[in-house]
Amino acid sequence: MTLKFKDLTVKYTMSGTLKDGGADTNISSKINSNTDTNTNTNTITALDNISLEINQGECVAVIGESGSGKSTLSLASMKLLASNAFISGQIFLDNVDISDLTDKEMEKLRWNKISIVFQNYGDVLNPVHRIIDQIAEPLIKNGESRSAALERSKKMLDHLKIKPGRDILFPHQISAGERQRVLIAMALITDPDILVLDEPVASVDAITKSYLAKVIKEQVDAGKAVLMITHDLSFAHLCSDRIAVLYSGMILELLPSQKLLDAPLHPYTRALVRSFPMMERAKDLAGVRGAPPSKTSGAPIGCIFQQRCTQSIDVCSQKQP
Instruction: Kindly report the backbone phi and psi dihedral angles of residue 59, in degrees, each rounded to the nearest multiple of 5, phi listed first.
Output: -115, 125
End-to-end CA distance of the chain: 32
Contact by Cβ (8 Å): 215, 238? no
Cα–Cα distances in Å, from 197 out to 24, 78, 239? 29, 12, 12
Residue 287, CB half-sphere, CA atoms under 13 Å: how many? 4
Q: Is 265 exposed, middle or buried (0-12, 13-18, 19+ CB in 10 A)?
A: middle
Instruction: Kindly report the backbone phi and psi dihedral angles of residue 214, in degrees, each rounded to the nearest multiple of 5, phi listed first.
Output: -65, -40
Tell me 15's DSSP state: E
Ordered by where they begin, the domains of the chain are 3-113+192-317 (3.40.50.300)
Q: What is the DSSP string of 55-93?
A: -TTEEEEEE--TTSSHHHHHHHHTT---TTEEEEEEEEE
Residue 246, CB half-sphere, CA atoms under 13 Å: how many? 27
Alpha carbon distance 310, 83 (integer Å): 39
**Contacts with 203 (C-beta within 8 Å, 6 or more apart), sequence order:** 121, 176, 177, 179, 180
Q: What is the pLDDT along the chain (321 residues), one digit of tens a residue?
A: 999 999 999 999 875 433 333 333 343 444 333 334 344 458 889 999 999 999 999 999 999 988 899 999 999 999 999 999 999 999 999 989 998 899 999 999 999 999 999 988 778 899 999 999 999 999 999 899 999 999 999 999 999 999 989 999 999 999 988 999 999 999 999 999 999 999 999 888 889 999 999 999 999 999 999 999 998 888 999 999 999 999 999 999 999 999 998 999 888 898 888 887 765 555 666 667 767 777 665 666 788 887 777 777 778 877 777
